[in-house]
Amino acid sequence: MTQPPAADGVPGRQHLTGYRLRDCDDLIATLRSSWLSQGLTLVQIAQRMGRSAPQPVSAYLSGKQGLNLITACRLVQALGYDLALIPREDLDA
């Protein structure tokens, strides 16, 4: 299904500001909310990330353990998201 064009004619852009994150804490809160709403177990998320144990996943989603970029990407993908770099001028328009 194709997204309708935004006001500037670029498809899909109108929804981007809903996912704008301010910092890593905001990322963790968004991922935690997604995890809870999906009803996934920590074991399921760990498996999706290619890990055997759920303990690190719990630590990431609780904010007790920091994320490096690779782990953040794996966690984001495990929860059904993609990371994107979007020029700020595109968001502010």
Give 9-44 as a DSSP string.
S-BTGGGGGGG---SHHHHHHHHHHHHHHHT--HHH
Position 22 scores a pLDDT of: 80
Q: pTM value?
A: 0.72
Domains of the chain: 21-84 (1.10.260)
Lowest mean pLDDT among 1-5, 18-22, 73-77: 1-5
pLDDT tens, residue by residue, 44-78: 999 999 998 999 999 999 989 999 999 999 999 99
Reply yes or no on whether the pLDDT at 92 is more than 90.
no
pLDDT at 4: 44
Q: Does residue 85 have a pLDDT over 70?
A: yes
